[in-house]
Amino acid sequence: MIRKRIIFLFLCLLCGMGISAQEMVVKGRVESKTGEEIPGASVFVKETKKGSMTDGNGDFSMSCTSKSVLQVSCIGYKTKQVSVNGKNFLKVVLEEDDHNLDEVVVVGYGVMRKSDLTGSVASVNAGEALKQMPASNITDALQGRLSGVSIVSASGQPGSSATIRVRGVNSINADTGPLVVIDGFIGGSLTSLNPADIQSIEVLKDASATAIYGSQGANGVILVTTRNAEKGKVSVHYNGYVNFKTPYSLPDRMTPGEFARLANDYGNEFYTASGAAPRVFYTDDEIAAFDNGSAGYDYVGNIFRKVAIEHTHEVSVSGGENKTQYLISGRYSYNDGIVKTSSSKTANYRVKIDSEIKPWLKAGVNLWGEYGTSIGPRFSQYRGILIESLIFPNTVAPKNENGKYNNLNLLSSAQYNPMGHIWELDKDDYTLSTRLQGYVELTLLPGLTLRTNHSVTFGSNLYRSTFNEDSYEAWSGNGLSSARAQSSQSKSWVNSNILSYMKEINRNHRLNATLVFEQSYSDSFLNTTTAVGLPSIEIGANNTSLGATVGASSSRSKATLMSALARVSYVLMNRYMLTASYRWDGSSRLAYENRWDAFPSLALAWDIKQEPFMESTPFDQLKLRLGYGQTGNQAVAAYSAFNEYSASRNAANELLLQLVRIGNPKLKWEHTEQYNLGLDFGFFNNRLAFNVDLYHKLSKDVLINVNVPSYTGQETTLANAAHILNKGIEVTINATPVTTKEVTWNSVLTLTHNNGTFEKFSDGTDMIVPSGGYEYDYFRYIKGQRIGTIWGYVCDGIWKTDEVAALPAVVDRPEAGQYKYRDIDESGSVTTDDQCVIGNGQPKFNWGWSNTVAYKNFDFSLFMIGYHGFDIYNYTRQARTIGLTPNPEMNNRWRPDNEAGYIEGFVKTPTTRPSSLFVEKGGFLKVKSITVGYTLPKKALQKLRVNSLRCYASIQNPFLITKYSGMDPEVTLKNPLTSGIDWGYYPNGRNYMIGLDFSF
Amino acid sequence: MKKIIISILGVLSLFGCVDLKQEPLSFLTPENVSYDESNMTTMANGLYRALWGWNYGYCCRLFTLTLGADDVIAGQLSKTRVIVIDELRADATISELDVKYFWTNMYNLILNSNLMIEGISGSSGSFEEKKPYLGEAYFMRAFAYYNLVRIFGDVPAIIDSKSAQDVLGNENIGRNRVADIYDKIIVPDLIMAEEYLPEVPRTRDNSSVGKIAAQTCLSEVYLTMAGWPLKRTEYYAKAAEKAKQIIEASYNTHRLVEHYEDLWKEVMKSDNTEHIFAINCSRLNSMASQYGISFLAMEENGWSDYLADEAFYLKYPDDERKAFNYKTTYNRAGRPGQTIIVPYTQSTMKSPFINKYRDYGTDAAQSDGIIPIYRYADVLLIYAEAQNLANNGPDDLAYRCINDVRKRATGGTPNDIPENLSGEDFDKYVFDERGWEFFAEFKRWFQLVRREKVEECNRYNSRVVEAGYIDRNKENYLMPLPPKEVELAKFSQNAGY
């Protein structure tokens, strides 16, 4: 049957050539099946390759001959060929191509037909995602859209990056998230991109796909393709929005009057318990003043803004003739955070030119860059502002009568005033990165091309801060004013040479072979100068020679990588597919002897739907994929093999040297082996399609800072000591439940389950105490246990008076009102040996559900995510129960007259022990955005003389459904290794946005 | 085909090949540094900073770990504090950080000393030129182990930078016995340091060690070896002999300064008239001491980490030292414009405040000044104590030593102890004199331990007695090893913890 058609077509063509054709102008209109005009469809004459495009009404006009065959194509529709046959007007109806089976997908060092894919690749149309969730950072819009990919909005600080992990954590020391490849160039970050510049994003998840990136591919690979200029007349596009950001509801706190009474209760209960006279902190008059509002200060309320404003503007101009196209774009974003003083400003630019110089020679340049600033108050682990503002006595004014900060709490413990973190902040910074990229592509023979990519990146960074004598830094340090100016410069280049060969031998064999030779080089320099004892605070860090003492330090680091890659993919009869690759990487970061390693992969796929026996089944698509691959992680910091002396000064300001590191020349690559089994299937004309992937990923020789006995003079040493296993299943369901002429409803659901465990530790230990301090102390890496294991004491409530009375009268007998920790080893007393697993912060399951409904000119989208099956250690809550803090929960403390209290009473100074009392269920559902847009109808557009105009409004994070008691459960997932701890991180807020998008 | 190959090679040759071999660009390593005099000086300087640790390093942790002595207390109401060592409650509630930081501080100093010894020994150049620097490294290694055995007892004795084996050659590193550490490391290292170090210290002030510092340390080491736990009483004679050697040495220029308070002035801090060795601190140069606000009582808006022990204060003889060492009142705002001076007895802790380090800056968390390690008064009182105990009766020099110290304490007025005392009575005088003289100088605890007087001296303080931890079979003489170290290295913990 097929063969007959081919012969027929062939004969037609032959005949066509024989008959002389007449020159003519043909006009036409391209429409969809539902009768909508399709603007921007490309129409070209097959034999001459002359082309044109449909205008805003879907109309086109072009010269051809009466016998020409026109090829009409448009993204999202099936390509159609139409014979002119002498007609002057052609109506071309394009069929929608719902699932883009012949869509081309970027796979790294080349592209592939989507139908030929053997690996697990998730793909997102960035424009669509941003339409549903306008954002200044593309990662916000990607959240929940990619199965197997966890994207967590890690902080409310403007300009901060999201935490992205592909199929769990594979590395400890270099748990940096996936490799980002932008337009084929390795390196970069999603945050640094103007979202409007992005065309599509592909995530390579399984190792058969990522192995082509060898030593950099273990954490998954995100391929970003930026927008290309469209052929045709010059078009200008603008998108802008204003965003009003508010915090979620603030934590409950006592009024100053309530707290003053609590303080007096403390003075009574605590001091009496110690056998001393009760202490009165506040007199009745003072309490009355707190109650009537003439004294007291709401610290929590005062560190947050009522409303923070963000506004973003993007403009692009594109155009070009047949051979050469250009795109120029720019963006500016001003972004205040919900916490006072936090803000960021970002500007992006891009100039992109692509040209077909000769039929066999293509070249292009892409010049782009980013400028950004980001400042904010102290949210660090130690004395971060959120926890400090929650525990500082709100009966104490920020400053005393002399204008000095009150830096003591009621119990005379040193505590820097939270408002100082806001009011004394004097920092500025900027980051500037410039990328010069270019390529030349030679077609050597039909199907054989040689492409050379070269990218040079210049980065510079400046950070200035001045700390006056009232600042936290002076208070916690030497009491002197100081200043710090830090700048870094980096230059790096990547050069890839790609030889690729594509050959189709009749319809049964398709071969695609690629050879790559790639090198990269980076050189960075950091310079810091400091001044202590400033003669002028105003000058401060602008001139660090103005200081009683000045200091300087610099460091320089160079790293190189050399790689070779061979890849072949072969498709037999459109049904059986094979991809195999082999990459060698050599890195200067490792000791010279260990620098080379190899990373192979193999993947097979079977498109079952193409088999004759599948013809009468309900499946529209059925494909089985099987893949295996190895990837690595060059987690070793440069120079780790060397012993290192660091230089500093003594009291006489003389130079001195101290050893900071014993080198380990044995360090080698982290090596990940992954198996993937995938199944793609669809029904109802693919209106319901599923992608299911199962994987098993074992990362070996994971580098970890192993605690070594301190008698070595070191506390930790880096070693290839851990094996991590990630197993999981991920499902994407694409559905179009409704599609009529007026209403279309599209729905995408992604489901992800990943289980990451520590498989073993090479030196035979069963448990590793993570280095890092603070929140790391609440976690353990335990052999056979899941990552994110929270470790501590089991709290069995509070010792009641009669229980204590029944205990033997030993010196260490607990007092009534103290926490009762479980004596797990039954040693008779509670020691560090009584700690055990008290929770796990690694989500077992997460999902994202996006819905788009188009109704006439309105579009509506609803997008939500969920994370489930994990615990949160609510350290913020614990910190609020220690000592004397304005925390309403303290009313639930044990008292002699309230034996049922579950918070430790005011009987003894508590020690901060990790306790099961503060482990809460973390699961949450967040509606991330609800967006409504309205696109002006054609007629109105013509009056306005614009091509398109859409206005939209969006509410982001409108609803949070969770049992968790803290502000934002999402930020507790910011660090996958200490996933599920609330350490007073900068919370996300609720945003109200309006925007406008038009082009002319 | 040729064309293709040529174009491919052409493209590749445009960029050349990157070099995969790395060399340090911006730091020195023990391997690439040249061991000339100026570099050896910078390495030696590094040892003093390693000893200092950080502002909450040596100065802070040693002060905290020795709070069990009778001269100082932790400055917060007993129930509110984590630091309970001053009630001799060194048990599970002791702050892990104090033992951990002290331990890592000392082993880091040992590592840097070992590296320097290995590096210098393996380098070319004249031995004469290298000797003084080797001397400093040996001194520091000995001093670090001396601190470790006194705080922790048996500890691993490592003498190579790779920690490949202990001093006895065992590759399976365990806790070496105190006696072995004294015999194989501390004493031999100090003898080597004494031989190698110059008579005039490298810096010509108290900030680096010279021959006399090594001798002073050695004589104190002998004195300690004669007491608990080794109790080699024959070493009293050795201690006395070494101290006497210093006193009579032609190169000895040290003497007692005229007024006690002059020892504690910021402007005089490097002066080595009396201070033989002290860590010099400077908050401006990021090598600060911790005195400042930690030593202010809560009534002075301070952090009240350390206060004086009232029982000890009440026993303290009235002299210039007492007047200087204590602050006994604080100010309270009265009516506007009026300040009320309040005696310490009305303070929360009812204890006087430590005045000794207040010239180094008071209101900040970091301050200037020195961390005193050895001064000439040490030499005199070591001699007095050791000679008397060695011979069961003082000689004339012993009398002169203690009387010189007492005379200076009164500002130059002779204040001799009675003559013809029995050995036992003379020892009591010397024992107390050390307490007064070295008040809050990180020394009293070690004296109580080696003389096994921890229990006796703490009975004066009712708070300690009431806490009920005094008599613990000397288990409280040693601190617990850092728990994580015990876990990691599979050491046995000290008894009682």
Name the residue type at position A889: E
* Interchain contact B462–A (C-beta under 8 A): no
Rounded to an integer, what distance in angstroms lies between the CA atom of residue B341 and that of residue B334?
9
What local confidence, expressed as pLDDT, does residue A5 receive?
47
Q: Render pLDDT for A759-782 as a digit per residue (tens, 0 to 9).
A: 998 777 888 888 778 888 899 999
Interface residue B200 vs chain A (CB under 8 A): no
How many Å apart are CA B186 and CA B169, to the nearest integer?
A: 17
Rounded to an integer, the average pLDDT of A61-87 is 78
- Output the pLDDT for position A230: 76
Percent of chain B predicted with pLDDT > 70: 95
**Out of A47-61, A890-904, B183-197, least confident range:** A47-61
| A459/B390 Cα distance (integer angstroms) | 72
State pLDDT tens for residues A970-981.
999 988 889 999
How high is the pLDDT of residue A4? Answer: 47
Q: Which residue has the tokens 């008071």?
A: B362
Residue in A with minimal Cα distance to B50: A658
CB-based contacts of B5, cutoff 8 Å, min separation 6? none
Tens of pLDDT, residues B134-193:
999 999 999 999 999 999 999 999 999 988 899 999 999 999 999 999 999 999 999 999
Please name the residues in contact with A349: beta carbons below 8 A apart, sequence gap of 6 or more: A329, A330, A331, A368, A369
- Provide the whole-model pTM: 0.85
- The pLDDT assigned to A10 comes to 42
| B33 in contact with A, Cβ within 8 Å | yes
User: Could you tell me if B90 lies within 8 Å of chain A, comparing CB atoms?
Assistant: no
CA atoms of A421 and A402, how far apart (whole Å): 19
Among A550, A416, A404, CA closest to A483: A550
How confident is the model over A834-879, as pLDDT tens digits? 999 999 999 999 999 999 999 988 999 999 999 999 999 999 999 9
CA distances from A541 to A342, A467, A484 (A): 20, 9, 6
C-alpha closest to that of B321 among B391, B367, B248, B257:
B257
pLDDT at A209: 85
Contacts of B12 in chain A (CB under 8 A): 497, 517
Q: Please, what is the angle between helix B396-409 and helix B376-391, to 10°?
A: 140
- Provide the percentage of residues in chain B whose pLDDT is more than 90: 73
pLDDT in tens, A430-467: 999 999 999 999 998 888 999 999 999 999 999 999 99
pLDDT tens-place string over residues B226-259: 999 999 999 999 999 999 999 999 999 999 999 9
Looking at the complex, report in whole angstroms how far the Cα of residue B111 sits from the nearest Cα belonging to chain A. 5
Region A395-399: mean pLDDT is 95
Across A283-288, average pLDDT: 93
Q: Which among B255, B166, B246 has a CA at the least distance from the CA of B213?
A: B246
pLDDT tens, B409-427?
999 999 999 999 999 999 9
Q: What whole-number distance in Å separates Cα of residue A648 and Cα of residue B190?
A: 27
Distance between CA atoms of residues B104 and A707, nearest Å: 13
Instruction: Calculate what percentage of chain A has a pLDDT beyond 90.
Output: 55
Residues 337 through 396 of chain B touching chain A, CB cutoff 8 Å? 361, 363-367
- CA of B426 to nearest chain A CA: how many angstroms apart? 39
Q: Of A435-449, A699-713, A784-798, which range is least confident?
A: A699-713
Q: Which pLDDT does position A9 carry in this prediction?
A: 41
The identity of residue A354, as a single letter, is D
B323 interfacial to chain A (CB closer than 8 Å):
no
* Contact call for residues A271 and A403 (beta carbons, < 8 A): no
**Under a CB-based contact definition with an 8 Å cutoff, are residues A563 and A597 in contact?**
no
Distance CA(A878)–CA(B205), nearest Å, equals 51
- Residue pair A713/B108 in contact by the 8 Å Cβ criterion: yes
Mean pLDDT within A529-549: 95
The dihedral of CA A151, A152, A154, A159: what is its sign? positive
Q: What is the dihedral of CA A797, A798, A803, A807, to 10 degrees?
A: 100
Which residues in chain B are contacts of A639 at CB distance < 8 A? 22, 24, 27
The predicted pLDDT at position A811 comes to 61
Which range, A151-155, A314-318, A406-410, has the best average confidence (pLDDT)? A314-318
For residue A558, pLDDT beyond 70: yes
First to last CA, chain A: 48
Predicted pLDDT at A154? 83
Q: Which whole number is the average pLDDT over B208-212?
A: 97
Instruction: Report the CATH fold assignment for A22-94.
Output: Immunoglobulin-like (2.60.40)
* A657 part of contact set with chain B, CB < 8 Å: yes
Q: A799 with A815: CB under 8 angstroms?
A: yes
Q: Nearest CA to CA, how far is B228 from chain A (Å)?
A: 24
CB B103 within 8 A of CB B62: no
Of the listed ranges A250-254, A628-632, B14-18, B399-403, the least confidently predicted one is B14-18
pLDDT over 70 at A425, yes or no: yes
Averaged pLDDT for residues A314-324 = 88
Nearest to B27 among A408, A475, A646 (CB): A646
Instruction: Tell me: pLDDT of B79 over 70.
Output: no
Task: Tell whether the model's pLDDT for residue A11 goes beyond 50.
Answer: no
Q: Which chain A positions have a beta carbon within 8 Å of B333's beta carbon?
A: none
Tokens representing B241 are 């002999």
The interface residues of chain B toward chain A in range 132-191, judged by CB-CB distance below 8 A, are 155-156, 158, 161-163, 173
Q: pLDDT at position B95, please?
A: 67
Better-scored residue on pLDDT, A315 or A138: A315
* B1 interface with A at CB cutoff 8 Å: no
Q: For chain B, what is the HEC assignment?
A: CHHHHHHHHHHHHHHCCCCCCCCCCCCECCCCCCCCHHHHHHHHHHHHHHHHCCCCCHHHHHHHHCCCCCCEEECCCHHHCCCCHHHCCCCCCCCHHHHHHHHHHHHHHHHHHHHHHHHHHCCCCCHHHHHHHHHHHHHHHHHHHHHHHHHHCCECCECCCCCCCECCCCCCCCCECHHHHHHHHHHHHHHHHHHHCCCCCCCCCCCCCCHHHHHHHHHHHHHHHHCCCCCCCCHHHHHHHHHHHHHHCCCCCCCCCCCHHHHHCHHHCCCCCCEEEEEEEECCCCECECCHHHHCCHHHCCCCCEEECHHHHHHCCCCHHHHHHEECEEEEECCCCCEEEEEHHHCCCCCCEECCCHHHCCCCCCECEEEEEEEHHHHHHHHHHHHHHHHCCCCHHHHHHHHHHHHHHCCCCCCCCCCCCCHHHHHHHHHHHHHHHCCCCCCHHHHHHHCCCHHHHHCCCHHHHHHCCCCCCCHHHCCCCCHHHHHHHCCCCCCCC
pLDDT at A19: 41
All structural domains of chain A with their residue ranges: 22-94, 104-231
Tokens found for residue A701: 């020789």
CB–CB of A650 and B22 under 8 A? no
Element counts in chain A: helices (H) and strands (E): 13, 48
CB neighbourhood size of A381 (10 A): 15
For B333-342, the pLDDT digits (tens) are 767 678 889 9
| CATH number at A104-231 | 2.170.130.10
Residue A618 has pLDDT above 90, yes or no: no
What is the band of A93 on the pLDDT scale with cuts at 50, 70, 90? Answer: confident
In this prediction, residues B447-466 reach a mean pLDDT of 91
The set of residues, in sequence order, having a beta carbon less than 8 Å from that of A944 and lying 6+ positions away, is A936
* Residue A752 predicted with pLDDT over 90: yes
Mean pLDDT of B118-131: 93
What's the gap in Å between the CA of B43 and the closest CA on chain A? 5
Instruction: Identify the bridge partners of residue A186 per DSSP, sorted by sequence position.
Output: A181
A519 touching B (Cβ < 8 Å): yes
Inter-chain touch B468–A811, beta carbons under 8 Å: yes
For residue A71, the cross-strand partners are A44, A81
Give the pair of three-digit tokens for residue A647. 């230089």
User: CA dist A420 to A142, A463, A469, A599, B302, Å?
Assistant: 37, 20, 11, 53, 19
Calculate the average pLDDT of chain B.
91
Distance between A586 CA and the closest CA of chain B, angstroms = 7
At residue A378, the 3 state secondary structure works out as coil
Mean pLDDT of chain A, nearest integer: 88
Range with the poorest average pLDDT among A220-224, A544-548, A635-639, B278-282 = A635-639
Tokens of B23: 């060399």
What phi, psi does A200 have (nearest 5°)?
A: -150, 160
> Alpha helix locations (H) across A816-937?
875-879
Dist CA B104 CA B107 (whole Å): 5
Residue A230 one-letter amino acid: E
The answer to whether the Cβ–Cβ distance between A713 and B163 falls below 8 Å is: yes
Mean pLDDT of A790-803: 94
Question: Is A323 within 8 Å of chain B by CB?
Answer: no
Q: pLDDT category, A26, cuts 50, 70, 90?
A: confident
Q: Does residue A14 surpass a pLDDT of 60?
A: no
State the pLDDT at residue B5: 73
Which tokens is B82 given? Answer: 């984590």
Task: Tell me what the mean pLDDT of segment A796-808 comes to.
Answer: 91
Helix axes B376-391, B211-226, angle to 10 degrees: 40
| Residues A356 and A362: beta-carbon distance below 8 Å | yes
Residue A899, φ and ψ in degrees, nearest 5: -65, -15
Calpha distance A307→A288 (Å, rounded): 32
Asked if residue A575 has pLDDT above 70, the reply is yes
Query: Å from B154 to nearest chain A CA?
Result: 13
> Using one digit for the tens of pLDDT, what is the confidence trace for A186-207?
888 888 889 889 998 999 988 8
Coil, helix or strand for A712?
helix
Burial of A827 (0-12, 13-18, 19+ CB in 10 A): exposed
Nearest by Cα to B144 from B205, B192, B102: B102
- What is A153-167 written as a DSSP string? ---SSTTPPPEEEES
What is the mean pLDDT of the segment spanning A74-87? Answer: 75
- pLDDT, residue B464, reads 85
Neighbours of B231 (CB within 10 A): 12
Q: In 3D, which of B270, B368, B365, B286 has the Cα closest to residue A658?
A: B286
Least confident of A18-22, A38-42, B451-455: A18-22
Provide CB contacts within 8 A for B442, sequence distance 6+.
B62, B63, B66, B371, B372
* Confidence band, pLDDT 50/70/90 cuts, at residue A2: very low
Q: State the count of interchain CB pairs (< 8 A) between A and B.
A: 234
B219 or B92: whose pLDDT is higher?
B219
Instruction: Please identify which residue in the block is written with the tokens 């609330």.
Output: A982
Predicted confidence at residue A16, as pLDDT, reads 38
**Interface residue B8 vs chain A (CB under 8 A):** yes
Whether residue B111 and residue A712 make contact (CB cut-off 8 A), yes or no, is yes
